[in-house]
Amino acid sequence: MSFQTWHTYGYGICVSDIVCESVEKLNALFHRAPGLEKAVNDWLKDCDIEKPTWDDYMEYDEDFNLGLATFLKEVILECEGIELTACNDFDDKLYLLYEPTYPWYLPKDQVSLTEERIKEIILKYVPILTEQQIEVGYYEPENGG
């Protein structure tokens, strides 16, 4: 039996710092991304959940169990066309990160993305969920399995 560890390096936020369990705020986030909103509502219907709670929504990402990080990732992808990485660490803290990559792997409209623009994009959606200040910075969560 073996054990592997990995690091995810990037610029973004620790999603676990967002203190929110408001279904109304979560739905306001979904309204920004109609495709995701439909997918989530279809999933809830398939699960026979008529009045979903916060915990019900957090079960949506059945593969990785990254809850709110997955929702922020998908909203930003649908609305901004920017691919971020949702991940967690050994302590199960959630992160949403823009990972560095080779410029030739990026779409032409993203080659000139700046740190400030990534910060703007992330902070455009976080205030939908919370009024508290969330730090945008460099993270390198480590995990394994």
**pLDDT of 130:** 97
Total structural domains in the chain? 1
Cβ–Cβ under 8 Å, residues 132 and 9: no
Q: How far is CA 107 from CA 101, 103, 104, 111, in A?
A: 11, 8, 8, 7
Report the distance separating Cα 125 and Cα 105, nearest Å: 26
* Residue 145's pLDDT band (cuts 50, 70, 90): confident
Q: Which residues contact 86 (CB under 8 A, 6 or more apart)?
A: 15, 61, 64, 66, 69, 70, 72, 73, 94, 95, 96
**pLDDT of 118:** 98
**What are the tens digits of pLDDT across the range 68-89?**
999 999 999 999 999 999 999 9
Domain span at 44: 5-144
pTM exceeds cut of 0.75: yes
Name the amino acid, one letter, at 32: R
Q: What is the mean pLDDT of residues 44-73?
A: 96
